[in-house]
Amino acid sequence: MSVSSGASTYMLFRIQKEKGRTPLSDIAAIIEKTGGDIVGIDVISSDHTGTIHDIAVNVFDQAHSQLISESLQKLDGVKIIHVSDRTFLAHLGGKIEIASKISVKNRDDLSRVYTPGVAGICTAIAEQPSKAYSLTIKRNTIAVVTDGTAVLGLGDIGPLAAMPVMEGKAMLFKQFADVDAFPICLDMKDPDEMVRTIKALAPAFGGINLEDISAPRCFEIEERLKRELDIPVFHDDQHGTAVALLAGLLNALKITGKQMSEIKVVVNGIGAAGIACSKMLLSAGVKNLIGVDRNGALHRNAHYDNPYWTEFAQITNPNVETGNLSEVIKNADVFIGVSAPNILKVDDVRSMAKDPIVFAMANPIPEIDPELAKPYVKVLATGRSDGHNQINNVLCFPGIFRGALDCRASEINEAMKLAAAQAIASVVTDDELSETYIIPSVFNQEVVKKVRDAVIEAAYRTGVAQKSMRDASYG
């Protein structure tokens, strides 16, 4: 399973063809001869020396694409400039844009949306800051903020390389929940500087979605921002993941007939997602939960420099089990992976209790190849979009922020997260529930609706909603 696998068999070959050498018909014939299906040929540019063409070809897989490239390279006067797949093409020029709600056609329009008209609006907000919610984009706009230090499972690849993920999150906010979100990739790592910077950016936004910030820095950054800002701050990799995970587990346990309080759960990867998922499971009633990281199981008799691990070890692993993943996974009912690719072995799965549940959620490559795990598990889920049972925070963040914005919640609290998890789980009815359908698709329109309503209800119940119920179109 490769990082780019599973997206498409459509490839675009950009080639430079020198004038008077191999004719285009021969180039097409070579592609067809390898089994490539040409679906389009475009001329990109042409001059007295030759022509640049884009040739769109349906291929079987990467190896087939490579074969076509090698065949083309052998042709006289033909040079391959680059080969792109559909995933790369979808990213050309980025994935989102800003659009105006009003068109400015004449001076009259201009003087209303810009100076001098806009000055009166600015003054109104200066006199009464809450008017920013009705007169600017603040009420519907979220900052998706990263420093690029824990991007998916790719690690610290930096803020620039993190952009495609943040644009993707922004896109999903808009598509699924009509929330306007903007990617902000900060070139800094110091938590103090990050807190200061995010606070300085906050006036333009109705909420802050922290993304892919490495642990343990992410905990301090989120805690401080929550304390110091009056808008919701939500670290997606912690809480969005935990919400989606709990939703999946609530339904998976219905299939295996086991109770939260009785199961043994092993969480592999005690970083941002792992700590939040564990805490959510503990508050949902799990008693025997063991966290495992690179050096094996975390337990209360060990010393950790990381204070979050010290706290974690105190509240988990009641039987003080020690050893590596293969040792502590024996007789576990549930494996939760939020760590690294391919670290769970088939023998580990086989050593689990009857009807094991395996949620291998590392992205883009899960802890175990689903094909290897399938014969030995009762319920299997991954974080990926190309298989069944996708447990991914995209099930949570659009709806939870939709709800928080609609009732103008000052924070996203535990009750709102629990309500979101139950709402996601409830989308799958008992009649529909099966091993391969424990969690609704992100495309199921019920998800955002149910999460929004449940989150708003919990926000009013816990006193963090700042809008009247009527204005929030709720209740």
Ligand X SMILES: NC(=O)C1=CN([C@@H]2O[C@H](COP(=O)(O)OP(=O)(O)OC[C@H]3O[C@@H](n4cnc5c(N)ncnc54)[C@H](O)[C@@H]3O)[C@@H](O)[C@H]2O)C=CC1
CB of 279 to ligand X, least distance (A): 13
Q: How far apart are CA 12 and CA 55, in angstroms?
A: 6
- Scan for tokens 């993943």, then name that residue: 325
Interacting positions 278-297 with Mg ion (CB under 5 A): none
Q: How far apart are CA 112 and CA 105, in angstroms?
A: 11
Distances from the Cα of 102 to the Cαs of 1, 110, 124, 239, 409, in angstroms? Answer: 46, 10, 21, 36, 28
Pick from 326, 292, 286, 335: which is nearest to 312 by CA? 292
The separation between CA 142 and the C-alpha centre of its own chain, rounded to angstroms, equals: 15
Q: How far apart are CA 373 and CA 349, in angstroms?
A: 7
Interface with ligand X includes 398 (CB under 6 A)?
Answer: no
Residues annotated within a binding site for a divalent metal cation: 211-212, 237
Tokens of 199: 């606070």
Closer CB to ligand X, 147 or 406, in the complex = 147
From residue 199 to residue 228, what is the string marking binding to ligand PYR with x (rule CB under 6 A)? -------------x----------------
Q: How far apart are CA 88 and CA 82, in angstroms?
A: 11
Closer CB to ligand PYR, 379 or 394, in the complex = 394
One-letter amino acid of 79: K
Interface with ligand PYR includes 382 (CB under 6 A)?
Answer: no
Interface with Mg ion includes 367 (CB under 5 A)?
Answer: no
Interface with Mg ion includes 180 (CB under 5 A)?
Answer: no
Q: Which of 74, 101, 138, 169 is catalytic?
A: 169
Q: β-strand 357-360 against 379-382: which pairing, if any?
A: parallel
Cβ-proximal residue to ligand PYR, closest one: 363
For 332-446, strand residue ranges (E) read 334-337, 357-360, 379-382
Closer CB to ligand PYR, 313 or 400, in the complex = 400
Active site residue 114: yes
Interacting positions 229-248 with Mg ion (CB under 5 A): 237
Interacting partner of 274 out of ligand PYR, Mg ion, ligand X, none (Cβ under 5 to 8 A depending on kind): ligand X
Binds ligand PYR (CB under 6 A): choice among 278, 316, 339, 392: 392
Active site residue 304: no
Interacting positions 141-180 with ligand PYR (CB under 6 A): 152
Helix (H, G, I), strand (E, B) or coil at 447: helix
Binds ligand PYR (CB under 6 A): choice among 65, 209, 251, 393: 393
Residues annotated within a binding site for (S)-malate: 363, 392
Helix (H, G, I), strand (E, B) or coil at 364: coil
CB of 393 to ligand PYR, least distance (A): 5
Q: Among positive and negative, which fits the CA dihedral 375, 327, 358, 367?
A: negative
Interface with ligand X includes 392 (CB under 6 A)?
Answer: yes
Interface with Mg ion includes 348 (CB under 5 A)?
Answer: no
Tokens of 433: 């529930």
Contact 181, 220 (CB under 8 A): no
Interacting partner of 294 out of ligand X, Mg ion, ligand PYR, none (Cβ under 5 to 8 A depending on kind): ligand X
Q: Which of 19, 33, 114, 374 is catalytic?
A: 114
Q: How far apart are CA 372 and CA 319, in angstroms?
A: 30
Cis peptide upstream of residue 203 (ω within 30 degrees of 0): no
42: β partners: 54
CB of 209 to ligand PYR, least distance (A): 10
Q: Among positive and negative, which fits the CA dihedral 64, 66, 72, 78?
A: positive
Q: How far apart are CA 45 and CA 52, in angstroms?
A: 5
CB of 460 to ligand X, least distance (A): 28
Closer CB to ligand X, 125 or 152, in the complex = 152
Q: Which stretch binds Mg ion (CB under 5 A): 54-62, 205-213, 286-294, 460-468?
A: 205-213
Interface with ligand PYR includes 237 (CB under 6 A)?
Answer: yes
The separation between CA 377 and the C-alpha centre of its own chain, rounded to angstroms, equals: 25
Tokens of 399: 């709806």
Interface with Mg ion includes 222 (CB under 5 A)?
Answer: no
Positions in the binding site for Mg ion (CB under 5 A) = 212, 237
Binding site for ligand X (CB under 6 A): 150, 152-153, 214-215, 237, 241, 244, 268-274, 292-294, 338-340, 343, 361-363, 383, 391-393
Residues that bind ligand PYR (CB under 6 A): 152, 212, 236-237, 363, 383, 392-393
Hey, which residues are catalytic here? 114, 169
